[in-house]
Amino acid sequence: MNNTTEYRFEVFVSNPGFDDFVPAAAYLIASLFFIIGLKRLSSPRTARSGNFIAGVGMALALLGTFLLPKMGHFCAILIAIAIGTIPGWLLARRVKMTAMPQMVSLFNGMGGACAMFISMGEWIKGADEGPALPKLLGIVLGSVSFTGSLVAFGKLQGLISEKPMRWPFQKAINAVLLLAILASAGASVADSQRAMLWIVVLAVLALLLGVLQVLPIGGADMPVVISVLNSCTGLAAAVTGFAMHNMAMIIAGTLVGAAGSLLTLLMCKAMNRSLAKVVFGSFGIAPKGAAAAAQGDQTMREISASECAIMMGYARKVIVIPGYGLAVAQGQHLVHELEQMLEKRGVEVKYAIHPVAGRMPGHMNVLLAEADVPYPKLLDMEEINPEFDQADVALIIGANDVVNPAARTDAGSPIYGMPILNADKAKNVIVIKRGRGAGFAGIENALFYQPKTRMLFGDAKAALQELITEVRGL
Ligand code: NAP
């Protein structure tokens, strides 16, 4: 085992001195901050402070690392921190809310690359010291996460086709690749003379697996894939922490891995997908449901803003369904204004929040929180769905897939099985969207052609502005 790292890890327990106490205490407090931060991130109300607390935890962990006994290379580390911090800070400040998934994916890929390089570094430092498994796992998980996340970023950013790609013997090729990874990992331990060569082969194969595993995934499964890769990076960091005997990395990596896994399961549940189908199923292809929907009544019935205003202004209950288009149009403040005006007229207004509406988990909650819409008005799918049949109007703003009845009825549809908001159960449905554009899954929506549905065409912000003017004039 590496004497220096073993010393760092164990000396505090056996012989606590000031040098060892400070970094160990910093790591412990940092870990507590991570846990508290994560807990607070679970509600929009406390998320901001949770993010800040976790950030302070990370700063403490960095400080603890600087104070580790026999730590050196301070200049190189400071330069590396600057290289990471400056573009990270600039990107995070400039990113649009709708582009968050690809940014998360990019940052996640960087985490995977770190785990890969650190594990390789640990191997080079002492191939025959300490157990090989954490280092090998760190290299494999980190590499898969690195290239997988970059492919996901490319797809979401439109740099490569968002559609799932397929080629012959896809699953067989991946299985062979997996076997080759296991074989080169074994060889790196057994063949000590050429261990370095095997480690490089291992990393290259795992990098390739990351690309081949994510290319065939697309459509509505992308958010789940990002979450899977996120937990993969967490696990990579945790095993790398074991390889380095670094307590902060083990705890932070485990937290990310566990949180990512739970989020993955929640999203799979919300979309009624099994994880195996997402990862191995090449979903999001062949929107047969689109063809089926397109064969029916193809008339969309338009409505003017003034007719809309009358319908809502004299309603008893209106349920607003926000979707991706509302976020793109940045119409959150206007929808809140409309809601307040309707309430002044005695109309009950609630918001129906679908778990995968928008482009990231919690997107609609964050968007509406930004406009100060009170939290009790935001109701989850399970809570609001039974209320639709009492609603006079379901007002859909820039949402599509999350209200598509094909998810219930059309077994050929790529969103078949995804629970949806029961907008079609309301007495009247008003849809604000720019035209006939499809949603994320790229399919038609039969709800838009139903006799009870009226289309208010236009950009969500402009349409809401018009509606507000009309309601004011009632
Ligand atoms: P959606 O199905 O993507 O539909 C959005 C609709 O908004 C489009 O049909 C588009 O129609 C309209 N639109 C776009 N810009 C607009 C604007 N400026 N003003 C008005 N309308 C506009 O959205 P969704 O119903 O929210 O569903 C989310 C989808 O994204 C799901 O399939 C989900 O699986 C997927 N997804 C979710 C996440 C997540 O974690 N939440 C992440 C990635 C993907 P027009 O072009 O005709 O205007």
- The pLDDT tens digits of the residues spanning 242-296 come to 988 888 899 999 999 999 999 888 888 777 777 777 776 554 444 444 444 445 5
| pLDDT(320) > 90 | yes
pLDDT band of 128, cuts 50, 70, 90: low
What pLDDT, on the 0 to 100 scale, is given for residue 74?
87
pLDDT band of 452, cuts 50, 70, 90: very high
Tokens of 272: 């009624």
- From 104, 228, 400, 447, mutation site for ligand 1 pocket: most ligand atoms within 8 A of C-beta: 400
What pLDDT, on the 0 to 100 scale, is given for residue 297?
59
Ligand 1 and 329: CB distance under 6 A: yes
Average pLDDT over all residues of the chain: 88
Does residue 73 or residue 36 have the better pLDDT?
Answer: 36
Q: Which of 4-13, 141-150, 385-394 has the lowest mean pLDDT?
A: 4-13
Q: Which of 21-25, 303-307, 450-454 has the lowest mean pLDDT?
A: 21-25
Query: Distance from the CA of 405 to the center of ligand 1, in angstroms?
Result: 15
What pLDDT, on the 0 to 100 scale, is given for residue 292?
43
pLDDT band of 32, cuts 50, 70, 90: very high
Ligand 1 and 459: CB distance under 6 A: yes
Ligand 1 and 284: CB distance under 6 A: no
| pLDDT(411) > 80 | yes
CA-based torsion, 217, 118, 81, 17: positive or negative? positive
Ligand 1 and 360: CB distance under 6 A: yes
Over range 16-42, report the average pLDDT. Answer: 86
What pLDDT, on the 0 to 100 scale, is given for residue 244?
85
Residue nearest to atom 38 of ligand 1 (CA): 359
Over range 379-395, report the average pLDDT. Answer: 96
Query: Distance from the CA of 459 to the center of ligand 1, in angstroms?
Result: 13
What pLDDT, on the 0 to 100 scale, is given for residue 11?
44
Residue nearest to atom 43 of ligand 1 (CA): 359
Ligand 1 and 268: CB distance under 6 A: no
Structure-token match 């492919």, residue found: 151
Query: Distance from the CA of 250 to the center of ligand 1, in angstroms?
Result: 38
Ligand 1 and 227: CB distance under 6 A: no
| pLDDT(230) > 90 | yes
Query: Distance from the CA of 433 to the center of ligand 1, in angstroms?
Result: 10
Q: Which of 57-71, 248-262, 264-278, 314-328 has the lowest mean pLDDT?
A: 264-278
Report the percentage of the chain scoring pLDDT > 70.
Answer: 91
Over range 344-360, report the average pLDDT. Answer: 92
Ligand 1 and 460: CB distance under 6 A: yes
Torsion of CA 232, 440, 95, 465, to 10 degrees: -150
Catalytic residues: 401
Residue nearest to atom 46 of ligand 1 (CA): 437
Q: Which of 63-77, 121-135, 447-461 has the lowest mean pLDDT?
A: 121-135
Ligand 1 and 289: CB distance under 6 A: no
CA-based torsion, 187, 189, 192, 198: positive or negative? positive
Which of 395, 404, 399, 218 is CA-nearest to residue 293? 404
Report the percentage of the chain scoring pLDDT > 90.
Answer: 59
What pLDDT, on the 0 to 100 scale, is given for residue 403?
97
What pLDDT, on the 0 to 100 scale, is given for residue 96?
82
Q: Are strands 317-322 and 378-380 parallel, antiparallel or unpaired?
A: unpaired
pTM of the shown model: 0.76
CA-based torsion, 187, 188, 190, 193: positive or negative? positive
What pLDDT, on the 0 to 100 scale, is given for residue 151?
95
Residue nearest to atom 37 of ligand 1 (CA): 359
